[in-house]
Amino acid sequence: MLFEQTMHTEQYVFPTDDRGRPAVIDIQNITKVYRMGDIEVPALRGVSLRVYKGEFVSIMGPSGSGKSTLLQILGALDQPSTGSYYLDGVDVAKLRDRDLATIRNRKIGFVFQSFNLLKRTSALRQVELPLLYGGGRDRTRRARAALEAVGLSQRMNHMPNELSGGQQQRVAIARAIVNDPAIVLADEPTGNLDSRSGTEVLKIFQEMNRTHGITTVVVTHDPFVARHTDRIIMLRDGVIVADQAVPDPILAGTVERPSDDSQLDNVLKDVYYAGKQEEYA
Ligand SMILES: Nc1ncnc2c1ncn2[C@@H]1O[C@H](COP(=O)(O)OP(=O)(O)O)[C@@H](O)[C@H]1O
Ligand SMILES: [Mg+2]
């Protein structure tokens, strides 16, 4: 921690939560305006958010509320129009494109809805890819360890088309964690999966978070998925309208998905359905 601090920052002091955990993500008053010809589309209208080391957070909200925009900014794929962003102590707003790419590779692991795996490339090679970029040594050993961590030691030489959807997403998670990133960002990671595979993937995220302390932010429109995380942030019209701890997160695989959304916990009745239920994607 101290090492990182002296490496990357002159004045920045890591904010901490009540447990003394430093903020991995620290955004203050972020706005994002997309311009389409003469029209300005305000996608984020003043978002402040801290995510602390070791948290497992979900971001929810109706379609068009700014979830993807926020995740792109968090992932240093895009810059905000105004506001500040410190990622693991690094002032992202000051970085040039080349440095942004470096920061992304070193500090962020991405998991996408559609897995984004290369065809005709074995699980092991996929997971080695992020390590090629940094010229890291020990690539194969580290890739094997990541695949073992997601329970795929028996599938290292399989091609994506020889793996189930859940297994493909686990390869993607191994690829996201192999670099030992400061944070893993996932956009609807169970969106393309049936419920059994979705549970398999949630189990891995939970285990990575709880056992390996990997800070994780998941965008989801699925309240059942959000109930597996420790904290739910709700966006609406480009602002955060709620930010709540989940009192008793579901342990993946121990609870059947309720057949009726109304059976979901109060935290979601209060938070998720605070607006009109039909609005939520
Ligand atoms: N590249 C873009 N150009 C113009 N408008 C955009 C662009 N991306 C998103 N928007 C607009 O910004 C708002 C937020 O979009 P988005 O972040 O994709 O929301 P969500 O992921 O919650 O559905 C929406 O009004 C959307 O139409
Ligand atoms: Mg989106």
Q: Which atom of ligand 1 is nearest to the CA of 71?
A: 17
Average pLDDT for 36-51: 96
For a mutational test of ligand 1's pocket, the pick from 30, 41, 65, 272, i.e. the residue with the most ligand atoms closer than 8 A to its C-beta, is 41
pLDDT band at 272 (very low <50, low <70, confident <90, very high): low
**Which range, of 11-15, 22-26, 131-135, averages the lowest pLDDT?**
131-135
pLDDT at 74 over 90: yes
For residue 249, give the amino acid letter.
P
Q: Which atom of ligand 1 is nearest to the CA of 219?
A: 21
* Start-end of H helices in the chain: 2-8, 67-74, 97-107, 123-133, 139-149, 165-177, 195-212, 223-226, 266-271
Give the domains, in start order, of the chain with CATH numbers: 52-77+95-273 (3.40.50.300)
Helix (H) / strand (E) element for 48: namely strand 39-52
3-state secondary structure of 261: helix
pLDDT band at 266 (very low <50, low <70, confident <90, very high): low
- Ligand 1 contacts (CB < 6 A) are 34, 36, 41, 43, 61, 63-69
Average pLDDT for 138-159: 96
What does the buried/exposed string (b/e) look like for 259-278 if buried means 16 or more CB atoms within 10 Å of the residue's CB?
eebeebbebbeebbeebeee
Q: What is the pLDDT of residues 76-126, one digit of tens each?
A: 999 999 999 999 999 998 888 889 988 998 999 999 999 999 999 999 999
Q: Which ligand is nearest to the CA of 59?
A: 1
- CA-proximal residue: ligand 1, atom 12 (nearest): 43
Count Cβ atoms within 10 A of the Cβ of residue 232 and give its class: 0-12 exposed, 13-18 middle, 19 or more buried.
Answer: buried
3-state secondary structure of 275: coil
Residues with CB under 5 A from ligand 2 (ion): 67-68
pLDDT at 190 over 90: yes
Query: Could you give the CA distance from residue 174 to residue 149 in angstroms, rounded to a whole number?
Result: 8
pTM of the model: 0.89
- CA-proximal residue: ligand 1, atom 3 (nearest): 34
pLDDT at 280 over 90: no
Q: What sign has the CA pseudo-torsion 84, 85, 89, 95? A: negative
pLDDT band at 270 (very low <50, low <70, confident <90, very high): low
Query: Could you give the CA distance from residue 238 to residue 232 in angstroms, rounded to a whole number?
Result: 16
CB 55 within 8 A of CB 48: no
Q: Which atom of ligand 1 is nearest to the CA of 69?
A: 17
Q: Which two tokens stand for residue 211?
A: 């056992």
